[in-house]
Amino acid sequence: MKRWILCCCLGIMAAGYFPELPGFVPLVLLLSIFTLSFRFRSIRLLGAFSMGLLWGLAYGWFMLQSQLLVEDEGKDLWVTGRVTGIPKHYEHSRRFDFLVDQVNDETGKDLNRLLKKIRINWYQLEHPVVPGEYWRFKVRLKKPHGFANPGGFNYETWLFRQGIGATGYVRSAQTSEPIKNAYPQIGHYLDRWRYFIIKRLNEKLATEPHRDLFLALTLGEKSEITPAQWQLFSASGTNHLFVISGLHIGFIAGLVYAVGLWLGRLTMIRAPVWTVQQTAACIAISAATFYALLAGFSLPTQRALIMIVALLSGQLVKREVEIWRAYCFALLLVLLNDPLAAETRGFWLSFLAVAALIYAYQGRTRIDSIGWRWIRPQWIVFIALIPVLLVSFQQFSLVSPVANTLAVPIVGFILVPLSLLAALLFNIVPSLAGTLFSIFGFILEYLLVILKILTNHPHATRILNPGSLPITLAVLGILILLSPRGLPARWLGGLCLLPLFIANHKITTTGEFSLTVLDVGQGLSAVIETKNHSLIYDVGAKYSRSFNMADAVILPYLKTVGIERANRLVISHSDNDHAGALPVLLEKLHVEKVITGTPMEFRDGITHQLCHSGFSWAWDGVQFQLMKAETGAWSNENNQSCVLKISSGRRSVLLTGDIEREAEASLIAQFPEKLDSVVMIVPHHGSLTSSTEKFLDRVSPDYAVFTTGYQNRFGHPHAKVVERYQRLGTSLLNTVSSGAITITFDKENAQPIVKQHRRTFNRYWY
């Protein structure tokens, strides 16, 4: 049975890796195999895999049908429906999800689309939006799209998993109207209940410290946790403790189950049919369900609740359920509920942690001391999750076992119960609730101090980028280390972990270099690597206090490739889409020197200089030369962009910033023989004011890279500009369709090696 379930789970997970959904004939073949497996036992496991694959593909087909049609992108549409979820408030807008009942065009014609759920931004703050309300909006929508970069958060996949078929914005407040006589449906009362609780708590705790973490632990509302706090939790390996996850729901279920057993035995309740254990299990499941509902019944909490029900199922049916069977059953239910759960890091972290604990404790008869009984699981989970942490985050915390040994009981057994009691009592006994919140804040403050002390050590976090072979050896070593004591030579498992810490950065040869153009939307950021050096050209935009390209794209990518410092940072000019994220990046990354095309202010300690023509240097056999158009009466700062040429022999790249036709003409006059390049970053994202025919003839690139935003309002790249490159026979690349683009120049290949992130990690919903 366990093997059958695992094969079915593998089939469901495999469906998520298809680049496109298969046609009719493969589906009939899968269905035939599944049907025949009932007749022939020899193919039962293959039949289970086929069933899982069919389920995953059917889910994908259904989700694709609810996506916005291409012909509706950019049009003004009228949508009628209900607000769902908790609206998010930002500096200049609010964002909320909307369940669509009807879609009409501007003439009022019913488009009869299958669009079911959309995500809307409304750039006004006067009209409150409450979950469950029925509204009619005039919106402009586009298909779900997100940045696609190594190491970055996959927003596009997240939207698809949430069932969101389009994103967009409300055209104007005058075109929006609530429908007063429409009452919330039953399914929306949970969102309204959580919305008013959050609103009430925000009013009560407006000036209180730790309000953000209080809301995160009680209601799963983590949007107000600051980046500095996330950095602390990540460095200490405790970030899973400060959002409602399976661990919290497990704590509540375990605590309620233990109390239920104690009360049952204390009162000596006996029943011939219903035992104390069954009563305690039912109460524990009810408590876990209530906590999951309080957190909005998000997918991670659903996953945790399913695991708890599966693990307590033995108590309910009065039978001893094998732990591995309960585990496999929980895995199957989670994947049936969310076939794309395997696309999330939380899925692997939670299930692998539980699997490691079961594996390490199976068959053990020795009773550990109370202290070791608590400490040992922390070390088991720490060792078991090293490979998945390195694959997912390219780092792991060395202080995690100590931090979790201290923080897990404090958060699970003290802070979570305190926060829940305080939240429930604020409207009943405000004074008692205030006292509980004060105790919560007092304990939390000391816990944060301890975590800061632990993470202040310079080697608290290790950033590593091992290849597939060291990861495979590490998994083998972990299986040996966590195996039963009877296995000889368990110390060999520790040796298998050593390759993770040796030469974790890719090795290049002198004279070779690579260029990675990151997908930062309508903007630019590129990373150049030689054998021993790295350079960043532009850093993309900053859109709000909580969202910028440094945190979202650049820093995760640098971790992925093992870069912990940048030798040089070149900012072409000061426009937001090229330099907006600069302060954040300089705060979190050590940069030896900054070069800017236009004057900019820097905090003390940052070595910087203005870009000027003629300045050049060499790293590892690769030449770097700065170029800048002669000063003139430019209409804007674009023409002051600092241009960078990188070359190694005939292999060369030209990064052009936002130069326009005047600067292009100036560069032709200044550097008539030095502009030719194999690869060029297209000037000004493909604007009609750039990429003149004379400039393109002089550069004559084999590859041209456009860096534009999806459905951007500027219409970049302009059709006429694209035609100019096509006439030259230039191969065109665009971060919109390719994601991050890595171009490598090595000595073994005459032509550069081009890798496009969206093609390397292609999925059917892209």
DSSP states along 68-96: PPGGGTTSEEEEEEEEEEEEEE-SS-EEE
Domain boundary among 14, 32, 65: 65
- Nearby residues of 551 by Cβ (< 8 Å), 6 or more positions away: 227, 581, 584, 588
414 and 483 together in one domain: no
> How many CB atoms are closer than 10 A to CB 39?
8
Average pLDDT, the chain: 86
Calculate mean pLDDT across residues 603-608: 83
Please give the average per-residue pLDDT across 311-326, as a whole number. Answer: 77
In whole angstroms, what is the distance from residue 241 CA to residue 235 CA?
Answer: 13
Look up the domain containing 484 and give its range.
468-501
CB 101 within 8 A of CB 82: yes
Tokens 């009409």 — which residue? 104
Burial of 607 (0-12, 13-18, 19+ CB in 10 A): exposed
Q: In this structure, are residues 404 and 379 in contact, taking their beta carbons and an 8 Å threshold?
A: no
Residue 138 forms part of a structural domain: yes
Structural domain contains residue 35: yes
Q: Does any domain span residue 308?
A: yes
Strand order of the β-sheet with 525-529 is 608-610, 594-596, 568-571, 534-539, 525-529, 513-517, 741-745, 753-756
- Angle 259-262-266 (CA atoms, 0-180°, nearest 5)? 140
Beta bridge partners of 591: 566
Please state which of the ranges 405-414, 485-494, 536-545, 725-734 shows the lowest mean pLDDT.
485-494
pLDDT tier at 313, thresholds 50, 70, 90: confident
C-alpha distances in Å from residue 248, one per residue of 175, 464, 557: 43, 29, 31
| Pair of tokens at residue 79 | 């949508």
State pTM to two decimals: 0.86
User: Are residues 45 and 80 both part of a single domain?
Assistant: no
- For the segment 241-245, the average pLDDT, to the nearest whole number, is 74
In the predicted structure, residue 548 carries a pLDDT above the cut 90: yes
When pLDDT is cut at 50, 70 and 90, the band that residue 30 belongs to is confident
Supply the pLDDT for residue 366. 59
- Whether residues 51 and 132 share a domain: the answer is no
CB 247 within 8 A of CB 290: no
Token code pair at residue 662: 């005047």
Whether 442 maps to a domain, the answer reads yes
Torsion of CA 114, 120, 124, 128, to 10 degrees: 80
Structure tokens that stand for 294 in this block: 């309080």
Positive or negative, the CA dihedral 321, 324, 326, 329 is negative
Q: Which residues are bridge partners to 653 per DSSP?
A: 646, 679
Quote the pLDDT of residue 372.
63
Do 110 and 57 reside in the same domain of the chain?
Answer: no
For residue 444, count other CB atoms closer than 10 A to its CB. Answer: 22
Residue (of 288, 289, 291, 240) closest to 419 by Cα position: 291
Q: Are strands 616-619 and 622-627 parallel, antiparallel or unpaired?
A: antiparallel
Judgement on whether residues 417 and 455 belong to the same structural domain of the protein: yes
* Domain shared by 538 and 659, yes or no: yes
Residue 332 lies inside a defined structural domain of this protein? no
Does the pLDDT of residue 77 top 70, yes or no?
A: yes
Q: Are residues 60 and 74 in the same domain?
A: no
Same-domain check for residues 169 and 74: yes
∠628-632-633 over CA atoms, to 5°? 135
Phi, psi of 245, deg, nearest 5: -130, -170
231 and 298, same domain (yes or no): yes
Domain presence at residue 24: yes
Instruction: Let me know if residue 133 belongs to a domain.
Output: yes
Instruction: Give the number of other CB atoms < 10 A from CB of residue 250.
Output: 20
Q: Does 587 lie in the same domain as 452?
A: no
Are 231 and 295 members of one domain? yes
Mean pLDDT of 530-555: 92
Residue 364 lies in a domain: no
**Going by C-beta distance under 8 Å and a sequence separation of 6 or more, which residues neighbour residue 339?**
12, 15, 16, 55, 56, 59, 60
Q: Is the pLDDT of residue 51 over 70?
A: yes
Among candidate residues 179, 205, 230, the one where a domain is terminated = 179
* 126 lies in the same domain as 244: no
Domain final residue pick, 144, 179, 214: 179
Distance CA 565, CA 648 (A): 23
pLDDT tier, 633 (very low <50, low <70, confident <90, very high otherwise): low
pLDDT of residue 230: 81
The number of distinct structural domains making up the chain is 5
Give the closest residue to 431 by CA, choosing from 422, 440, 443, 441: 422
